[in-house]
Amino acid sequence: MIVARLRGPAFSVLSVLISASLMLCVSAVRATPDKLDWDNPFPSGEPLPQFLTHDYIDLSNVVAISKFRSGAGHPFVDEYEAPDRSMKNYIQTLPFPSGSSGTDTDVDVFAPTSGKIVSIEAEGRILSTGEHQGYQVHIVPDGYPMFEVRLFHVNVSPSVSVGSDVRTGEFLGYADMRESAPGSDIAVAGIFGEAPEYPDRPPEWLSRYPDRGIKLFSPFDFMTDALFGEYLLRGVHDRNDFVISKLFRDAHPADFIGFDPDDWVFLTPPVPAPEPASIVLIGIGLVGLGGLRASRRSDSRLRPRSPRSAPGTSPASPASGERFTRAAAAEE
């Protein structure tokens, strides 16, 4: 786990906010099997495609991210794993702490991939105002019709609708953080070419496709190297930092009681990009000003380091608790 520059009172506030607000969120999400390509499941054992090229929330607005298979929030699983884990990622955003003072117009939400919006569904969670806490936006990436990216709790822009083709980085709306901390989450699902251990679909779909199922994946496994590089600048070591292994979770079921810091990755401020500078080699045996000048002449074979991309930028540009394919309670 990564915990850096978030200690003492700030860390305690985060613990209280997340444990108090998320434990109220027992949700229901139903699958959209008719919107995915069941005839072309993703082959078991194949490397996952990297179609996520843009952060859906700019990292400058992010404090922490829950891990895949965490005990944060509420159970959210697929047809392949036990209902004692959350197989999506919650995003703790700024302003921090958000809590009940969060808004639905402060934090921009962007398309993390290019594709088609196949569904916009009102969230099940109802606020004290009687409103839904935003909408779920489902995007099928271009070229990968067996996959779906889900963005939760989005205050959707009027320009976005079902059937819209979106480009990576395109503005979709705002994260709905009202009465919730955190106020947004993301999941990636796909049709997987292997018989599921926990089949959970309408009978007609199960009888048609008994040898494949809906599987959830860590979104970080779909990020391009360029995009994931932004996380490396913020204290992350590799993609597995955001994942609790299936082996560990099977042996240690999540109880979703209270706050466990091991369920979260806390991002550090970005590491400053190195400034371009001339590299001076001082050769062994070269001494004095003359030797130094000689070494400067020899550096013509070297090149200054290029600065890394600034954080937040991108390239070119359903239930035993709740199963992804079936409902469990009342809200997302």
pLDDT tens string 193-207: 999 999 988 888 889
Note the CATH architecture for domain 8-266.
Distorted Sandwich (2.70)
End-to-end alpha carbon distance in the chain: 26
Report residue 112's pLDDT band, with 50, 70 and 90 as the boundaries. very high
Question: pTM for the whole thing?
Answer: 0.75
d(CA 260, CA 252): 13
Res 295 pLDDT > 60: no
Res 32 pLDDT > 70: no
As a whole number, mean pLDDT of residues 263-278 equals: 75
pLDDT over 70 percentage in the chain: 69
d(CA 86, CA 65): 13
pLDDT recorded at residue 271: 72
For residue 76, give every residue at least 6 positions away whose Cβ sits within 8 Å of its Cβ, in sequence order, or none: 27, 29, 85, 86, 87, 88, 187, 216, 321, 322, 323, 324
As a whole number, mean pLDDT of residues 217-223 equals: 98
Cβ-contact 280, 296 below 8 angstroms: yes
d(CA 23, CA 73): 6
Phi–psi pair at 20, nearest 5 degrees: -75, -40
Residue 2: CB atoms within 10 A of its CB come to 18
pLDDT recorded at residue 48: 96
Report residue 275's pLDDT band, with 50, 70 and 90 as the boundaries. low
Question: Which of 145-149, 231-235, 289-293 shows the lowest mean pLDDT across its residues?
Answer: 289-293
> What integer best gives the mean pLDDT of the chain?
77
Question: Which of 12-16, 107-111, 224-228, 252-256 shows the lowest mean pLDDT across its residues?
Answer: 12-16
Res 158 pLDDT > 80: yes
Tracing tokens 């200690």 back to the chain, one arrives at: 7
**Amino acid letter, residue 198:** Y
Which is nearest to 21 in space by CA: 173, 174, 185? 185
d(CA 327, CA 319): 6
Q: Is the pLDDT higher at 332 or at 301?
A: 332
Q: Is the pLDDT higher at 283 or at 204?
A: 204
Pure H helices in the chain: 8-22, 203-208, 225-232, 246-251, 288-298
Any idea where the domains of the chain sit in the sequence? 8-266, 276-307
Report residue 101's pLDDT band, with 50, 70 and 90 as the boundaries. low
d(CA 302, CA 275): 15
What are 62's strand-pairing partners? 93
The rounded radius of gyration (Å) of the Cα atoms in the chain is: 22
What are 126's strand-pairing partners? 132
Cβ-contact 114, 172 below 8 angstroms: no
Question: Which of 48-57, 111-120, 203-212, 247-256 shows the lowest mean pLDDT across its residues?
Answer: 203-212
For residue 332, the Cα-to-chain-centroid distance in whole angstroms is 16
